[in-house]
Amino acid sequence: MLGTWGVTKAAATNTLISAGYLGVGAVGLMYAITDEKGDRIVAATMVAVAVAGLLAWLAAYKRYRLIFDTPTSQIISAAQGYVEIVGRCEPHGGDSLLGFGPIPGSVWLQYTVQQRRGNHWRHLETRTSDDTFVIADTSGTCILDPDGAEVVNAHRKTWSNGAYRHIAKYLLPGDTLYALGELTALGGARTPINRRSDVSAVLREWKRDYRKLLARFDANRDGSIDLDEWEAIRQAAGQAVDNQHHELRLGPDIHLLRAPQDGRPLLISNQDPDSLARRFRRWSWFHLAVFVAATVSVLTLWLQ
């Protein structure tokens, strides 16, 4: 489904930060020209640019190193934890594709609606799908949960309808995807079980139909459950739970790739890993250059 967009991470972050550099720099320059305290304004502006550049460099460099240092794993043999997978994306069997306006059916979709106000476009809303889909390589399949993902270099389409502009980013079935995130195996031998809790749940369910319980376990037909009969009920519930757990553990493993809980990013892209790593490396050098230039500017003004 398409959820309301909050603070989501995306490839547009670098572009927005770069635009911020220009905007803040322009403000500082304007004050430098028109205000007698221009040097102070410029210095404060350069400090802000330096801080933004440092944070952006750290984020871009971190992603570059994660992509560069994490080897590609086959789904069937991948260890649980932070992994890199390359495969073809598809919807779940029987699931309908996502759609918006003229874009083709997609497995992932983000759209933005803007309204023209004079010479400017005013943001109205952005929505991002959080439906899971499947990524498959030659060894097997994996469920991919895109909630909280940074989706880089997705397909993009822009169109206008009167005073409104629509911008859509999407991933198509059959796209070759790069995914970097936390892999968890669910089901099969890894299914977490709690026998005591499950037995208690079965007993609560059975006690809701007391007549059926009497018909099954009231051996002496006196219309009540005595201690021996109650022990027989507990043993039967335990056996039922053991049978259920056995069937669960014999079932196939389900692999789930999702955003890590430790703050590392979930990256999804239809770019190959080498190109993606180079992309983040270029951004990291750009932000580092901005940080150095802004820092030198602050020191120069301070030493004057």
CA pseudo-torsion sign 50, 51, 52, 53: positive
Listed by start position, the domains of the chain span 2-187+252-303, 195-250
Element (H, E) at 123: strand 120-129
Each residue's pLDDT tens digit, 173-205: 999 999 999 998 776 555 566 788 888 888 888
Mode of pairing for the β-strands spanning 155-161 and 150-152:
unpaired
Q: What is the mean pLDDT of residues 123-150?
A: 92
Dihedral of the alpha carbons of 293, 296, 301, 304, in degrees to the nearest 10? -140
Q: How far apart are CA 216 and CA 207, in angstroms?
A: 12
Mode of pairing for the β-strands spanning 254-258 and 141-144:
parallel
Q: How far apart are CA 257 and CA 145, in angstroms?
A: 6
The single-letter code of the amino acid at 110 is: Q
Helix (H, G, I), strand (E, B) or coil at 272: coil
Residues 147/261, Cβ–Cβ less than 8 Å? no
Q: How far apart are CA 207 and CA 225, in angstroms?
A: 11
* Chain-centroid distance, C-alpha 169: 15
Each residue's pLDDT tens digit, 34-48: 454 556 666 777 777
With a threshold of 0.85, does the pTM exceed it?
Answer: no
Residues 208/147, Cβ–Cβ less than 8 Å? no
Q: In the chain, pLDDT over 70 holds for what percent of residues?
A: 81
